[in-house]
Amino acid sequence: MSTKFNRILVGVDDSADALLAFDYAIHQAIQDDAELVIVSVLEDDEMNVYQALSKDFVHGERHDLEQHILKYQKQAQDAGVKNVHAMIAEGEPGETIVKDVIPHVKPDLLVIGSLAKKGIKRRFGSQAAYMAKYSPIAVMVVR
Protein backbone atom coordinates (compact mmCIF):
# COMPACT_ATOMS: atom_id res chain seq x y z
CA MET A 1 0.00 0.00 0.00
CA SER A 2 1.37 3.41 -0.87
CA THR A 3 0.48 6.61 0.92
CA LYS A 4 -0.61 9.61 -1.08
CA PHE A 5 -0.31 12.98 0.61
CA ASN A 6 -2.69 15.86 -0.15
CA ARG A 7 -0.98 18.75 1.65
CA ILE A 8 2.71 18.78 2.51
CA LEU A 9 4.26 21.26 4.94
CA VAL A 10 8.01 21.86 4.65
CA GLY A 11 10.09 23.92 7.06
CA VAL A 12 12.99 25.88 5.56
CA ASP A 13 15.88 27.75 7.20
CA ASP A 14 18.73 27.69 4.64
CA SER A 15 20.68 24.89 6.35
CA ALA A 16 21.96 22.21 3.97
CA ASP A 17 19.60 19.56 5.31
CA ALA A 18 16.61 21.94 5.16
CA LEU A 19 17.41 22.46 1.48
CA LEU A 20 17.44 18.66 1.05
CA ALA A 21 14.10 18.49 2.87
CA PHE A 22 12.75 21.17 0.51
CA ASP A 23 13.89 19.14 -2.53
CA TYR A 24 12.25 16.01 -1.07
CA ALA A 25 9.01 17.92 -0.40
CA ILE A 26 8.95 19.22 -4.00
CA HIS A 27 9.45 15.68 -5.33
CA GLN A 28 6.71 14.29 -3.05
CA ALA A 29 4.29 17.10 -3.93
CA ILE A 30 4.79 16.49 -7.67
CA GLN A 31 4.46 12.71 -7.25
CA ASP A 32 1.23 13.01 -5.21
CA ASP A 33 -0.12 16.10 -7.01
CA ALA A 34 -0.24 17.59 -3.50
CA GLU A 35 -0.40 21.15 -2.25
CA LEU A 36 2.95 22.35 -0.88
CA VAL A 37 3.09 24.80 2.01
CA ILE A 38 6.51 26.28 2.76
CA VAL A 39 7.07 27.74 6.24
CA SER A 40 9.98 29.66 7.69
CA VAL A 41 10.08 30.73 11.32
CA LEU A 42 11.37 34.13 12.41
CA GLU A 43 13.06 33.28 15.70
CA ASP A 44 12.69 35.85 18.46
CA ASP A 45 15.76 34.57 20.32
CA GLU A 46 18.07 35.56 17.46
CA MET A 47 17.40 39.24 18.18
CA ASN A 48 18.99 41.17 20.99
CA VAL A 49 16.82 43.35 23.22
CA TYR A 50 17.56 46.53 21.26
CA GLN A 51 16.70 44.86 17.96
CA ALA A 52 13.51 43.38 19.43
CA LEU A 53 12.44 46.86 20.61
CA SER A 54 13.12 48.35 17.20
CA LYS A 55 10.11 47.99 14.94
CA ASP A 56 12.34 48.88 11.99
CA PHE A 57 14.68 45.99 12.71
CA VAL A 58 11.89 43.46 13.19
CA HIS A 59 10.08 44.74 10.09
CA GLY A 60 13.34 44.56 8.14
CA GLU A 61 14.05 41.00 9.28
CA ARG A 62 10.52 39.93 8.42
CA HIS A 63 10.65 41.69 5.04
CA ASP A 64 13.94 39.94 4.19
CA LEU A 65 12.43 36.60 5.18
CA GLU A 66 9.28 37.28 3.13
CA GLN A 67 11.40 38.04 0.05
CA HIS A 68 13.51 34.96 0.68
CA ILE A 69 10.58 32.57 1.12
CA LEU A 70 9.05 33.81 -2.14
CA LYS A 71 12.20 32.48 -3.88
CA TYR A 72 11.43 29.05 -2.42
CA GLN A 73 7.85 29.35 -3.67
CA LYS A 74 9.03 30.23 -7.19
CA GLN A 75 11.55 27.38 -7.15
CA ALA A 76 8.80 24.89 -6.28
CA GLN A 77 6.52 26.30 -9.00
CA ASP A 78 9.34 26.20 -11.54
CA ALA A 79 9.97 22.55 -10.60
CA GLY A 80 6.37 21.72 -11.43
CA VAL A 81 4.42 21.94 -8.17
CA LYS A 82 1.02 23.34 -9.19
CA ASN A 83 -0.27 24.51 -5.80
CA VAL A 84 2.35 26.24 -3.62
CA HIS A 85 1.93 28.58 -0.65
CA ALA A 86 4.53 30.24 1.55
CA MET A 87 4.14 31.55 5.09
CA ILE A 88 6.14 33.00 7.94
CA ALA A 89 5.56 32.16 11.58
CA GLU A 90 7.27 33.65 14.63
CA GLY A 91 8.68 31.98 17.71
CA GLU A 92 10.58 28.82 18.58
CA PRO A 93 10.55 26.77 15.34
CA GLY A 94 9.62 23.33 16.67
CA GLU A 95 6.93 24.49 19.03
CA THR A 96 5.52 27.05 16.60
CA ILE A 97 5.24 24.54 13.76
CA VAL A 98 3.66 21.84 15.96
CA LYS A 99 1.30 24.04 18.00
CA ASP A 100 0.41 26.85 15.57
CA VAL A 101 1.26 26.06 11.94
CA ILE A 102 0.06 22.43 11.72
CA PRO A 103 -3.38 23.14 13.26
CA HIS A 104 -3.77 26.16 10.94
CA VAL A 105 -2.49 24.56 7.70
CA LYS A 106 -3.81 21.00 8.35
CA PRO A 107 -1.13 19.17 6.35
CA ASP A 108 -0.85 15.39 6.31
CA LEU A 109 2.97 15.34 6.09
CA LEU A 110 5.65 17.53 7.65
CA VAL A 111 9.07 17.47 5.94
CA ILE A 112 12.01 18.91 7.90
CA GLY A 113 15.79 18.83 7.96
CA SER A 114 17.57 17.25 10.91
CA LEU A 115 19.95 20.06 11.95
CA ALA A 116 19.43 23.49 13.41
CA LYS A 117 20.86 26.32 11.32
CA LYS A 118 22.96 27.78 14.10
CA GLY A 119 23.13 28.59 17.75
CA ILE A 120 22.97 26.62 20.96
CA LYS A 121 19.97 24.56 19.83
CA ARG A 122 22.33 22.10 18.18
CA ARG A 123 23.87 21.30 21.53
CA PHE A 124 20.73 21.44 23.69
CA GLY A 125 18.29 19.42 21.63
CA SER A 126 17.07 19.52 18.13
CA GLN A 127 13.99 21.26 16.75
CA ALA A 128 13.61 18.25 14.45
CA ALA A 129 13.50 15.87 17.43
CA TYR A 130 10.83 18.02 19.07
CA MET A 131 8.69 18.06 15.92
CA ALA A 132 9.13 14.33 15.31
CA LYS A 133 8.07 13.60 18.89
CA TYR A 134 5.11 15.97 19.24
CA SER A 135 3.75 16.38 15.71
CA PRO A 136 0.19 15.06 15.31
CA ILE A 137 0.95 14.12 11.68
CA ALA A 138 3.55 12.04 9.79
CA VAL A 139 7.04 13.57 9.87
CA MET A 140 9.79 12.98 7.32
CA VAL A 141 13.18 13.97 8.74
CA VAL A 142 15.72 14.43 5.93
CA ARG A 143 19.49 14.19 6.46
DSSP string, 63-117: HHHHHHHHHHHHHHHHHT-SSEEEEEEES-HHHHIIIIIHHHH--SEEEEESS-S
pLDDT score of 78: 98
Q: Is 136's pLDDT higher than 80?
A: yes
Total count of domains within the chain: 1
**For residue 122, is it within any domain?**
yes
Q: 25-56 pLDDT, tens per residue? A: 999 999 999 999 999 988 766 555 555 555 66
**For residue 18, is it within any domain?**
yes
**For residue 52, is it within any domain?**
yes
**For residue 130, is it within any domain?**
yes
**For residue 1, is it within any domain?**
no
**For residue 105, is it within any domain?**
yes
Q: Tell me the pTM.
A: 0.85
pLDDT score of 13: 86
Tell me the residue range of the domain where 67 lies. 7-142
CB 114 within 8 A of CB 17: yes
**For residue 2, is it within any domain?**
no
Q: CATH number, domain at 25? A: 3.40.50.620
